[in-house]
Amino acid sequence: MFHGHLWLGIISTVLVILICSTGILLNHKRGLGLMPDVPNEASGALNAALSIGELAARAEAQVGPEVAAAGIDRMDVRPGDGLIKVRFNDREVTEATVDIHSGEVLHVGARNDVFLEKLHSGEIFGSRGILLSDFAAIVLTILVITGIWLWIYPRVKHS
Amino acid sequence: MTGAIGLLLGLIIVPALLTWAGHRLRGRSAKVRGAFWGGVIGYAIAMAAFFIAAFAPPLLWGDDSLREAVVYWGLLAGSGAGSVIGSMRPRGAE
Q: Which residue of A has its CA nearest to B68?
A: A125
- Judgement on whether residues A102 and A40 belong to the same structural domain of the protein: yes
Q: How far does B29 lie from chain A, in Å, by closest CA?
A: 23
Q: pLDDT, tens digit, for every residue of A98-152?
A: 999 999 999 998 888 888 898 899 888 878 888 888 988 899 999 999 999 999 8
Q: pLDDT, tens digit, for every residue of B39-52?
A: 999 999 999 999 99
Residue ranges with strand state E in A1-146: 72-78, 83-88, 94-99, 105-110
**Would you say residue B13 lies in a domain?**
yes
- Judgement on whether residues A73 and A25 belong to the same structural domain of the protein: no
In this complex, is the C-beta atom of B36 within 8 Å of any C-beta atom belonging to chain A? no
Number of A–B residue contacts, CB under 8 Å: 56
Look at B30 and B46; give whichever has higher pLDDT.
B46
CA distance A153 to A140: 20
Is the distance from CB of A73 to CB of A85 less than 8 angstroms?
no
| Segments forming the whole domain that contains residue A150 | 1-35+112-159
At residue A27, φ and ψ (nearest 5 deg) are: -60, -30
Position B92 confidence tier, pLDDT thresholds 50, 70, 90:
low
> How buried is B62 (Cβ within 10 angstroms: 0-12 exposed, 13-18 middle, 19+ buried)?
exposed
Q: Note the pTM of the prediction, 2 decimals.
A: 0.76
Is the distance from CB of A51 to CB of A119 less than 8 angstroms?
no
| Segments forming the whole domain that contains residue B61 | 2-21+29-88
**Would you say residue B93 lies in a domain?**
no
DSSP single-letter state for residue A50? P
* Dihedral sign of CA atoms A79, A108, A36, A24 in order: positive
pLDDT score recorded for residue A97: 94
Q: State the amino acid at position B11 in one-letter form.
A: L
Contacts of B47 in chain A (CB under 8 A): 14
- Judgement on whether residues A123 and A150 belong to the same structural domain of the protein: yes
Domain count, chain A: 2
Q: What is the DSSP string of A99-149?
A: ETTT--EEEEEE-HHHHHHHHHHTGGG-GGGHHHHHHHHHHHHHHHHHHHH
Q: State the amino acid at position A130 in one-letter form.
A: I
CA-CA-CA-CA dihedral for A110, A115, A117, A121, to nearest 10: 170
Q: pLDDT, tens digit, for every residue of A2-35?
A: 888 888 888 888 888 889 989 998 999 888 888 8
